[in-house]
Structure 1
Amino acid sequence: MLDPLTAIGLAGNVVQFVDFTAKLIAEGRAIYKAGATSENEDLEVITRDLIGLNGKLLSVSPPDSGSVQESEDEDLQHLAKRCVELGKELLSILEDLRMSGSYTRWDSFRMATRTVRKKDKIEGIQKRLNDIRAQLNLHLIALLRFMEMDRTDQLIQLKDEILMAIQELSQRDKRDRLQKKLLSKEQYLQPEANNVQDLSAISSKLSDLSQEGERVRREQRVLFSLRFRSMDVRHSKIPEAHNTTFNWIFEEAAEDDSLPRVEFMQWLRSSGDIYWLSGKAGSGKSTLTKFIASHPRTMQALSLWAGQHRLFTASHFFWHAGTDLQKSQEGLLQTILYDILRKCPDLIPAVLPFRWQAYGYSFENPEAWTLPELLTALRRLIEHDLSAKFCFFIDGLDEYYGNHVEIISLLRDLITSSNIKICVSSRPWNIFEDAFGKNSSRMLALQDLTRNDIQLYVQNHLEENEHFIRLKTRDPRCVDLVQEIVDRAQGVFLWVFLVVRDLVQGLTNSDRIVDLQRRLRRLPTDLEPYFKHILDTVEDIYKDQTAETFQLCLQARSPPLLMVFSLLDEEDPKFALTSSVSPLSVDEVAARYHEAHRRLNARCKGLLELVGDPIHDYFWETFSVQVDYLHRTVRDFLQGSEMQDYLKMSAGRHFDAHTCLANASLGLIK
C-alpha cells in the first residue's frame, strides 16, 4: 500500500498526463480538420497583418529636419524593422506546424505534439512582438503629437496672416494717398495726351507711383515680421472693466477720505518715470491696465505732458501660460515697436535700416528677431530726431519668464530718457516693492481702492436676477448680504466673481436669504481653497475626465483648441488610429462645438473657459476658439504639488498628455 504523499504525487502525475493527453487530442483534432490549430491560424493572420503595417512604416522616408520629430521617426523605423524580423520568424514556425496535402489522424497527432513542444517558443516571440508593438504605439503617439502641433500652428498662423494682411492693407492713410495719386494721373491717360511732354509727365508720375508702392510693400513686410501670432491673445482675454468701475483712478482727490490718495493723473501730466500698479492675485490689475491704456482721459492727460511733441503709446501684457513671446523681453520689444511703427511707418527706414534694406533686396524673410537687434531698434526710435514722447503700459511683470532683475533693469534703462514714461503692474513681490515702491506718489495698492467698485459690481449683478429682486422686496437682509460679500472680498475681484456666480446658482434654486448667507459663509475666503471647493462639487463620474482635462492644459505649450477636447472625449481609445479619413460636415462640427463646451463646463465648473474671437461660424470657431484658465491663479493652483497628487488620485486611469494630443491630431482629419 502506498503512503499518502506518494499517492498524492502519483495522482498529480496522472492528472498532468490526462491534461496533456487531452490537449494533444484537441490539438490533433483541430489540425486534422483544418491543417492547423485555430489559435495558430489566428496568430498567423495577426502576425501577417502586423508585418504589413510595419512594412508600410518602413517604406516612409524619414524627414531631414534634424528635429525631435526626426529622432522619433528613426526610432519608429528601427522598431518596425525589428517587428518585421520577429514576425517572419514566427510565421516560419507557424508554417512548419501546418499540415499540407493528405494526412492521417496519426500525422495530425504527431504535429500536435510538435505544436505543444514549440508553444513556449511561440509565446516568447509573441511576447516580444507585443512589447515592440507597445513601444511602436508610444513612438507613434509622440510623432503624431508633433504633427498635430505643427498642423495646428499652421492653421492658426494662416488665419492670423490673412487677418493681418486685411488689417494692414486697409490702412486709410496709405490707401487714400495712393488713390489720390492714381486719380491725379487719370488726366494724363486720356487719348489727347499724344505729345512727348505729356508722355514724359506720365512716365515721371508712374515712376513716383511705383516707388511709393515699393515703399508701402516694404513697410508692410517689416511690420508683418514684428507682429507675432499671439500678440493680442492676452489682451483680448482680459475682461473689460465693469460699468463705472475704476473711474476713481482719474480723480484728483479720493471721494472717501479713508482711502489712499491716487496721484495717477498727476503722473500722466508730469515728467517721465515709472508708475506701479500693485495688487494681490485676482485683484484686477490686468483689467485696470487694459482700462487705462486706451481710455480717452489717459490720452488727454498724456497730451498735456507731450505738449507740442508727437505722442506715441504702446501696451504689452505678459502671460506666463502663453507662448515664449508672450512672456519674454523679445515679445515685449516687438509689441512696442510694432505698436509705434504701424502708426508712423515712415520711421521704419531710420529705426530698422538693416531690415529695410533686406526686404528691398529679397522676398525671403530675414532671420528671426534677436534681443540685441530689438534693443538697438528701440534706442534708435527714442533717440531719433522725432520730437516725440512715449508712454508704455506693461502688465504682469510677475508673469515675465526669466530673471525679474533683467526686466526691471530694462525698464530703468528706458526711462533714462525724459521722453519716456512707463506704467507697470504686478503682484506685490519684494523685488518689485524694492524697485518701484519707494515713491508713494508713483504707486497704488489696488486691493485697498476697489471696495466701492466691488460693491457696485455685486449690486448690479445680483439685481440683474429676477429672483433676487423679488427677494429684496420681501427681505431687507439682502442689503446686508451685499455688504458681507464686500467685507469678505479683501479687494479680490476674482473671489467676488466666483461668489456672485455661486449665489446666482442658489437664486436659480429659489434660495431664501438664510440659504444665501449659509452659502456665502461656507465659501473659503482665499482663492486656492475656493478652487478646491469648486472641484469637490464635480460629480464623481466626471472626476477622472476632469483630471485629464486639467493635465492636458498644463502639458500644452499653448491653450489647446476646443476641438482637441471634443476628440479627447471619444469613447474608443483607438479612435485616432481607426477613423477613416474624410472631412467633417458643418452639422457635425456644430454638434461637436456645443457638446464639447457643455462637457467642459460640467467637468471643470468654470475654472477653464473659451477664449478667442467668436465669429458666429461654428466651423471656424471650433478650429480657432481655445480653452484657457479662468485666471492665472487657477494655473498656479493646479501646478502645486498637493493639487497634482489630487488630480492623479482622481483620475480613474493612467493619463498621458501625449496620447491625448495624438488622438486629437488624427481626429482633426476624421
Structure 2
Amino acid sequence: MPIARANPIPSSASTLRISQSLEHSQQPLNLDDSRLLTLARNCRDAEAEWRKKTPARFLSQQQPRKRDRFGAVFRAVINKPETDRLERQLQKAKHSLETDLLVGIFKSLDVSKVQANDLQDKFRDLLHATSTSENKLHDLIQAQVTLVNTQISDRIDQAELSTKTHVTTELASHESRLKSHGDQGKDTILTEAKARENIRTENEAYERLLRSFQYSDMNRRRNEIHASYGSTFNWLFEGEFEDDYPESEVSQSDSFSKHEAESSYENEAGSYPQELACSSVVTWLESTEDRYWLSGRPGAGKSVLMKFIVSHEKTITSFRQWQPEVRILAHFFWKVGSPMQSSFNGFLCSLVYRLFSSDKQHTMGYLKQNPDWSRKAGPGDWDKDEVQLLVHSYARQPARPFCLFIDGLDEIMDDEGVGVLIDFLDTLQEPPHLVKVCMSSRPESTIRTRMGRSPDMKMQDLTRNDIKQYARANLEKEVSLTNSSMCIEDLVTDISDKAEGVFLWAVLVTRSIARGISNGDSREFIQKGFGNPPRSFTSYILICG
C-alpha cells in the first residue's frame, strides 16, 4: 500500500503570502481580515505539523538506503492516526480559508459595485452639471459676443463717421491747396514757358544778327598762316636769346667782344637788338600807349608774328596789366582773297562780329534799341557809316576795353586806300582810350607818315637769329638723314646774312640747299644755287601781289 496519500492541501507558498500580506499591512485590519489572518496562520501551522509527521513523503524523492526507507515506512504506519487527524484539520482549515476568501471577494465585489454605482451617479450628476454649465457658458459667451459686436458696430459707425468727416475736411482742404498750387504751377509754367520762348526768340535774334555780319571766308587768311617754326619768336616773351654767332665769327681771341659784334651788325643794318624789341613789345602791351606798328619787307614773317602774338597766352596776361577785362580781337587783310577780305567794309563786319559774339548782353541791348536790325540778312544789308557809328558807340562803353590786331594794313583795296582805315582808328581811340591797336604792314611811306611817333618794330632787323635757327635745324636734319660730312655752319651764316630779314626767301633757299644735300651735290654747286638775292626776290613778291 502507499506510504502516504497525496491529499490536496493549500499551497504553503500561497498561505505564506496571504499571512505575510495581512501581517505587514499598513492599514488596521477589519474583522474579516483578522479572521482571514487567523485561518491562514492555522492552515500554515497545521501544514507544518503534518509535514513533520510524514517524512516518507520527502524520502520518495531521493535514493535512501533500505534501512532508512524501512524506518520511514514504519513511522508512517505508527503515526497514521495522527497524520489523518492533521490532514482533516488541514482540510478544514483550507475550507474555512477558501470560504472566507470567497466571502471577502464577494463583499469586495459588492462594495466595488456600490462604489461603481455611486461613481456612476456622481459622474452622471457631473455630466449634467457640466452640460448645464456649458449651456450657461455658451449663453454667457453668446451674450458677450453680442455685446462686443454691438460695441464694435457702434465704434465702427463712430469711426466711419469721424473718418468720413475728417476725410471730407481734408479733401476739401487739399482740394483748395491743390487748386491754389495748380493755379500757381500753371502761372509758373506759363511764366517759364514765356521766359523760354523769350530766350529762344532772343537767341534766334542774336544768332541772326551775328550772321548778318559774318561772311564765309572771314577767318581764312588767319587759318592759312603757318605757325611759327619751333621756338622762333619765343624770345619776344621769354627774354632768352640763343647765341647764334659761331666761333669763327666771334671768339675769345678777338679784339672786340660779342656785344661789340652785335652792335657792329646792328649799326650796319640800321636796327636794334632783340632785347630792345622784346622790351618794346611787352612794355607796349602793359602800357597805356594806344598804337603799335610792326613793319617789315614782304616775306619777313609779319603775319606769322602777328598770329604768334595773338595766340600766345602771355599776351592776354600782359594786357591785363593795362585793363583786367580786356579782350583780344584780330583781323587779317588779304588782297588776293575775296573782296570782303581786302575791304574796309569787311574789316568793319569782322570787328563787329567778334565784338558781339563775345558780349551777348550788350548786343541784346543794342538789338532792343534797334529792332529793325533783326531783319538784316548779311553784310550787304549794313551801311558802312552805320557800322562805324555802332563800333564807336560800343568802344565808349565803360569796362569794355579791347585790343585790336590788324595784319596786312597795306593790303586794303578800297578806293580811299589805307587812309580811311587809319582815320577810323583815330576816332576809335579817342577818350576814354579803351582801345589799343597793333598793326603790321610793309614799310610804305604813307603808313609811316600816318603812324607818326607811335612805337614800332622792324621785322627784318629781328629775324636774323630766327632764320639761323630755322636753317640750322633743317640742314642738320638733312645731313643726319644722308650721313653727309658737309659742314653747314657757314651755309647757315650765309643764308642769314643774305636773307636781310626776309624769312620767306630764307625758307625757300634752305629747302633748295636741303635738296642739294639729299642729292649729294658738292658745296660749290650748292653755294652757286642760292637763287635770287632778297631785294630781287622782294621785287618779285611786290609784282606778284
Q: Quick one: structure 1 residues 450 and 347, their matched pair in 2 at CA, closer, same or farther if it must change by over 3 Å?
A: same
Residue deviations 1:206-244 (CA, integer Å, cap 9, x gap):
111111111111111111111111101111111111111
Is the CA contact 1:193–1:199 (under 8 Å) kept in the aligned structure 2? no
1:395 is displaced (CA, Å) by 0.6
Q: Quick one: structure 1 residues 367 and 460, their matched pair in 2 at CA, closer, same or farther if it must change by over 3 Å?
A: closer
The match for 2:217 among 219, 230, 236 is 230
CA–CA distance in structure 2, aligned partners of residues 265 and 207 of structure 1: 50
Match of 2:517 in 1: 507
Across the two proteins, how many residue pairs are aligned to each other? 335
For 1:229, give the aligned amino acid: S
Alignment of 1:9-48 (within 5 A): none
Residue deviations 1:67-94 (CA, integer Å, cap 9, x gap):
xxxxxxxxxxxxxxxxxxxxxxxxxxxx
Q: Secondary structure at the match of 1:465?
A: helix
Correspondence 1:413 to 2:430: no
Q: Secondary structure at the match of 1:388?
A: coil
User: Taking every aligned residue pair, what percent have the same amino acid on both sides?
Assistant: 30
Alignment of 1:458-537 (within 5 A): 458-466=471-479, 470-471=483-484, 474-475=485-486, 477-520=487-530, 523-526=531-534, 528=536
The match for 1:375 among 355, 380, 388 is 388
Residue deviations 1:594-634 (CA, integer Å, cap 9, x gap):
xxxxxxxxxxxxxxxxxxxxxxxxxxxxxxxxxxxxxxx2x
CA–CA distance in structure 2, aligned partners of residues 217 and 313 of structure 1: 26
Match of 2:350 in 1: 335
Q: Secondary structure at the match of 2:533?
A: coil
1:335 is displaced (CA, Å) by 1.1
CA–CA distance in structure 2, aligned partners of residues 421 and 264 of structure 1: 13
Which ranges of structure 1 fall in alignment gaps of 5 or more residues? 1-190, 533-632, 640-670
Is the CA contact 1:283–1:491 (under 8 Å) kept in the aligned structure 2? yes
1:198 is displaced (CA, Å) by 1.7
Is the CA contact 1:272–1:415 (under 8 Å) kept in the aligned structure 2? no
Is the CA contact 1:285–1:446 (under 8 Å) kept in the aligned structure 2? yes
For 1:245, give the aligned amino acid: T
Residue deviations 1:80-135 (CA, integer Å, cap 9, x gap):
xxxxxxxxxxxxxxxxxxxxxxxxxxxxxxxxxxxxxxxxxxxxxxxxxxxxxxxx
Is the CA contact 2:475–2:488 (under 8 Å) kept in the aligned structure 1? no
Correspondence 1:397 to 2:409: yes
CA–CA distance in structure 1, aligned partners of residues 346 and 332 of structure 2: 10
Q: Secondary structure at the match of 1:422?
A: strand
The match for 2:290 among 273, 288, 293 is 273
The match for 1:432 among 433, 447, 455 is 447
1:435 is displaced (CA, Å) by 2.0
Match of 1:581 in 2: none
CA–CA distance in structure 2, aligned partners of residues 229 and 459 of structure 1: 40
Is the CA contact 1:306–1:388 (under 8 Å) kept in the aligned structure 2? no
For 1:399, give the aligned amino acid: E
The match for 1:249 among 232, 236, 251 is 236
Q: Quick one: structure 1 residues 364 and 205, their matched pair in 2 at CA, closer, same or farther if it must change by over 3 Å?
A: same
Alignment of 1:211-226 (within 5 A): 211-226=198-213
Is the CA contact 2:367–2:373 (under 8 Å) kept in the aligned structure 1? no
Is the CA contact 1:269–1:301 (under 8 Å) kept in the aligned structure 2? yes
Match of 1:637 in 2: 543
Q: Secondary structure at the match of 1:229?
A: coil
Q: Secondary structure at the match of 2:329?
A: strand
Alignment of 1:610-625 (within 5 A): none
Q: Secondary structure at the match of 2:439?
A: strand
Q: Secondary structure at the match of 1:394?
A: strand
Q: Secondary structure at the match of 1:306?
A: coil
CA–CA distance in structure 2, aligned partners of residues 355 and 430 of structure 1: 42
Correspondence 1:318 to 2:342: no
Match of 1:574 in 2: none
Give the CA RMSD over aligned residues. Answer: 2.7
CA–CA distance in structure 2, aligned partners of residues 375 and 352 of structure 1: 16
CA–CA distance in structure 2, aligned partners of residues 412 and 287 of structure 1: 26
Alignment of 1:77-116 (within 5 A): none
Correspondence 1:295 to 2:312: yes
Is the CA contact 2:412–2:418 (under 8 Å) kept in the aligned structure 1? yes
The match for 2:303 among 279, 286, 292 is 286
CA–CA distance in structure 2, aligned partners of residues 462 and 220 of structure 1: 50
1:286 is displaced (CA, Å) by 0.7
Q: Quick one: structure 1 residues 364 and 265, their matched pair in 2 at CA, closer, same or farther if it must change by over 3 Å?
A: closer
CA–CA distance in structure 1, aligned partners of residues 434 and 477 of structure 2: 47
Alignment of 1:554-569 (within 5 A): none
State the TM-score, normalized to the length of structure 1.
Answer: 0.47
1:462 is displaced (CA, Å) by 1.7
